[in-house]
Amino acid sequence: MTTPKLPPFVPPSSLRLLSLLLIVLSFFAASGNAPAAKHPKPKKDYALIVGTVWGPDNLPVYGVKIKIRRSQDRKAKWELFSDHHGEFAQRLPVGKTDYLVTADLKDFKPNDGKPLHLVQEVTVHIDSDERVDIGLHLTH
């Protein structure tokens, strides 16, 4: 028995037109005629205060509330917490300013149950876009 040989499949004319259109569009997309990418916004300059909270045993302390204020202000403008390494960081505006950094221990519960106190509030002077590293030391 012999089987008849079938002619090759020829798509209808509408499919040929669609495939031609897809080929042309893919060529333009690959050639770079796509819409231009937006330029990223320029980054603003900032100053940075980075610090570590140290306990009476000279180990870092987690979960201490840090308050930062300008020296001429009465209320703190920035509040943050020390992380698991006792560290914190705060971006500040650029410009000559003095800042006071303190630890708010009012709601802090230490592991040993003994109340902690901040040894001394730290004054930080910022001139421009710079980084200043400090340490806050706690005692019983």
Q: Give the Cα separation of 74 and 65 in Å (integer).
A: 17
| Residue carrying the six token digits 């730290």 | 122
- The secondary structure of 73-94 as a DSSP string is -SS-SEEEE--TTSEEEEEE-S
Q: Give the Cα separation of 126 and 82 in Å (integer).
A: 21
pTM attached to this predicted model: 0.69
- Report the pLDDT averaged over residues 3-31: 70
The domains located in the chain, with CATH, are: 47-139 (2.60.40.1120)
Tally the C-alpha atoms within 13 A of residue 90's C-alpha that lie toward its C-beta: 23
Segment 44-96, tens digit of pLDDT: 899 999 999 999 999 999 999 999 999 999 999 999 999 999 999 999 999 99
Token digits for 99? 């800042």
Are the C-beta atoms of 92 and 126 separated by less than 8 Å? yes
Segment 19-52, tens digit of pLDDT: 777 787 777 666 665 555 677 877 889 999 999 9
